[in-house]
A and B are shown apart, each in its own frame.
Chain A
């Protein structure tokens, strides 16, 4: 009898915690966050369960993010479920404190998996809120494979970058007449937007893509099997890039080499060599020292059999 009582007590005390029926949850596909100086402006896009596949947008303004989501919960009369979220859109108006609060909110939110992609936009308006999240993600996929501009990044990756390097690069979208991928925005330290060249350089340094195309003086060059190896030794950083270029003229490979070297140097110069400084910080535990960079770019020319198809 005692055993039975114990089992019943165990079921009653420990059971049913976190019980939530599926009919009482609101599945979110997109969250957008803006800041007007005093209040957060939060937007959530709720996927509708009816057969029309509608998406409903809800907006809330409040001093803290947690507060906003609590109000949204009440407004929807359902629990906001972030597990199936595809995209987090952050406004360009956010500052370091805002980023801290956003990261804290999502890491503490038990329904959030933090595996959704994150982008920063110049303004949050209907263009981004009404667009399909899959389209935005596809746009980022296309931007890395064709122009090597920006690769999509998840919130988990951002948190890892911040913890490891104290800097993270988030894809930056500009909304004007249409949405375009401009490059990366550096968060945490500089809070600046990288130029297209700098973004390409960063992607090369981080070895994010093996095969891509770049445009130099309105001519497209297709590079294949690219591989970057970074070696950090005391104050020295060696950046070694090896690529294969298939073209009609051997001189073209030299043009590509020069271009790549130039954009990498510009990136290091204009960004206070943050990426490598923090990479070295792990070992040196200090910031005030000069870094000696050695950049070796090797573009191996291979004669094209079928002619230049890119012109």
Chain B
């Protein structure tokens, strides 16, 4: 890990030294390369994990596939680079990845000090705790004096400190570099509790030696808006990320699915016409073709489909839509109109 970060740091230096004015050129360089490099999780079921055949799957992974579909009309032109939490932003800054779609929390300091932009939020999350059932703990407020395993370089690490301080409780933090090491240490009994984003808790629990021995405590102690990140300064590229997400949301809202998208092309609804590019030149305005959204929906699906398939009822995780339901159904996901 040390080596990785040193090499990334050198890469960063080399890149900063070598590249001149390339701020606007991510789309061009991606088109030239013929593929998109996407920073993904090293392995988080439902969000970014390679399956038995080595194909990357997950909600965050499909976001990159959707971008690839929009740019190349082919969802497979993505190379995934698995990144540990503490290496991810450096990898994005240095240009090692074109987009970071890796359940990363958008915060002000990351936006303003790390030279990043978070154009969209594709999963509204919050931090929670998991403990062993046999401890008999039913609330995070009872964790006074506990040892807690967490991953380094995350907002989780900071929220944890805030929460225990605010509630005047003591704890012992045991921080590890990767999510894998962190969960293994918890599973082996090094810690009483394991903390990460609630989605991550359900996902990691599947990896426990005995998943049923663990419970997730009800408290959510923070806001974790997770979304794809890009380098600050390339607005065109940021627009592509933003509108990829909104296209998928709008598609869900108007009932356009992977299955019916070709039929929907004939729809009279002007919103659907603009979405699918049969009216207006919205795709060209972001440097793509006008059927960009059609390509995404045809090859990946709308947001709801991607959600259900990866983390919802169609997956092992069985996470409810909750805050991630469309705004029309009481959630926070709200697609900005295409017009």
Query: Is B a genuine binding partner of A?
Result: no
**Interface residue ranges, B against A (CB under 8 Å):** none
